[in-house]
């Protein structure tokens, strides 16, 4: 028995029966293929049928580090300072995630009418660990964040999947599939999606990421494209173009030009993605700029 099991309140069974093969059946018994599961019209992809803007806590991390406000204040900051409907947490910024603390956080979010969208999980292991023990520990470490996400009413947790330097990508695919199958088995009863952000290593390779999504073959697993900035080492436009159709969230960042920002917003929309765009551009002025651009090029559609 894990301590965090004590806060699994009101879990419901899904109305979709999934398998880890090449197809599954919905509640009516109709067979769904992999293409059906990841079709652009499948609501599992983003959990929303419309787009909205959320605030990623990391955008204002320097204010938290300076002691200007705490994680419990995040709902108020998002609503009063930016008038945003959603927030995306970072696990390392939870001061003391006891049940009393989480109840207070829920009350604060309810008071300000803010949806708690997801938790970005760092420092809890690598989804592409090269040992069986490491992969199992990754799954165990993330359980508490699945439980906390469920308790708060979030839709997902974000994970990291890098692998060792110069790893064989075919071998890495097997390791990551093992890790995520274990974690999904734990997360599915809580109706929490698991997403992977391109944070280096194999997760920076869009073709590898798509191979992993297809290998695991579970619509509760998705990508979480970090828009980043264009560079010689990383083609952020190509990455988004390839992975947006599998996305369950967007780590939005203002691009060097408004034209490029507009292009990436349009790419996301054209992929069929509908959901939260979590602004992660650093600092208040950049957040406000992101809100303005998203309203101009996304919410008008």
Percentage above 90 pLDDT, the chain: 82
Q: Contact at 8 Å (CB) between 62 and 68?
A: no
Q: What is the pLDDT of residues 78-103, one digit of tens each?
A: 999 999 999 999 999 999 999 999 99
User: What is the C-alpha to C-alpha distance for residues 101 and 88, in angstroms, rounded to an integer?
Assistant: 17
Beta strand ranges found along the chain (DSSP E): 23-25, 31-33, 52-56, 86-90, 115-120, 156-159, 193-197, 221-224, 250-252, 276-279
Tokens matching residue 103: 């109840």
Instruction: Give the residue extent of every domain in the chain.
Output: 45-297
User: What is the C-alpha to C-alpha distance for residues 43 and 73, in angstroms, rounded to an integer?
Assistant: 31
User: What is the C-alpha to C-alpha distance for residues 143 and 182, in angstroms, rounded to an integer?
Assistant: 10
Q: How far is CA 93 from CA 5, 7, 60, 247, 250, in A?
A: 21, 20, 11, 25, 20
Q: Output 35 or 135, whichever has higher pLDDT.
A: 135
Q: Residue 120 CA to chain centroid, in angstroms?
A: 7
* Rg of the chain, C-alpha, whole Å: 18
Q: Output 10 or 240, whichever has higher pLDDT.
A: 240
- Helices 132-152 + 99-112 axis angle, to 10: 50
User: What is the C-alpha to C-alpha distance for residues 37 and 104, in angstroms, rounded to an integer?
Assistant: 37
Model confidence at 125: pLDDT above 50: yes
Q: How far is CA 63 from CA 74, 76, 117, 141, in A?
A: 11, 14, 21, 28
Per-residue pLDDT, averaged over 34-39, amounts to 39
Q: What is the pLDDT of residues 261-276, one digit of tens each?
A: 999 999 999 999 999 9
Return the number of other C-beta atoms located less than 10 Å from residue 221's C-beta: 24
What is the β-pairing status of strands 23-25 and 31-33? antiparallel
pLDDT recorded at residue 75: 98
Q: What is the pLDDT of residues 145-192, one digit of tens each?
A: 999 999 999 999 999 999 999 999 999 999 999 999 999 999 999 999
Per-residue pLDDT, averaged over 15-44, amounts to 35
Architecture per CATH, 45-297: Alpha-Beta Barrel (3.20)
Model confidence at 255: pLDDT above 80: yes
Least Cα distance to 87 among 107, 61, 114 occurs for 114
């Amino acid at each position: 028995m894990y301590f965090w099991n004590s806060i699994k309140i009101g879990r419901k069974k899904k109305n979709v029966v999934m398998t880890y093969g090449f197809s599954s059946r919905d509640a009516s018994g109709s067979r769904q293929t992999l293409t059906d599961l990841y079709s652009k019209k499948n609501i599992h992809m983003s959990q929303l049928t419309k787009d909205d803007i959320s605030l990623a806590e990391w955008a204002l991390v320097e204010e938290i580090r300076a002691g200007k406000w705490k994680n419990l204040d995040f709902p108020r900051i998002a609503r009063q300072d930016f008038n945003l409907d959603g927030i995306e947490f970072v696990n390392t910024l939870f001061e003391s995630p006891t049940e009393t603390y989480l109840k207070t956080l829920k009350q604060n979010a309810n008071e300000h009418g803010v949806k708690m969208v997801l938790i970005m999980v760092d420092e809890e292991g690598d989804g592409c660990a090269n040992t069986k023990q490491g992969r199992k520990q990754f799954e165990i470490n993330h359980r508490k964040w699945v439980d906390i996400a469920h308790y708060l009413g979030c839709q997902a947790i974000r994970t990291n999947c890098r692998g060792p330097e110069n790893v064989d990508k075919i071998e890495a695919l097997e390791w990551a599939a093992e890790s995520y199958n274990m974690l999904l088995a734990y997360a599915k009863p809580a109706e929490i999606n698991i997403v992977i952000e391109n944070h280096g290593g194999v997760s920076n390779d869009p073709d590898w990421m798509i191979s992993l999504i297809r290998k695991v073959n579970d619509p509760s697993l998705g990508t979480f494209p970090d828009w980043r900035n264009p560079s010689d080492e990383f083609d952020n436009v190509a990455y988004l173009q390839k992975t947006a159709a599998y996305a369950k969230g967007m780590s939005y960042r203002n691009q060097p030009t408004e034209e490029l920002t507009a292009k990436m917003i349009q790419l996301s929309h054209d992929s069929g993605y509908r959901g939260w765009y979590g602004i992660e551009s650093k600092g208040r002025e950049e957040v406000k700029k992101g809100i303005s651009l998203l309203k101009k090029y996304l919410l008008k559609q």
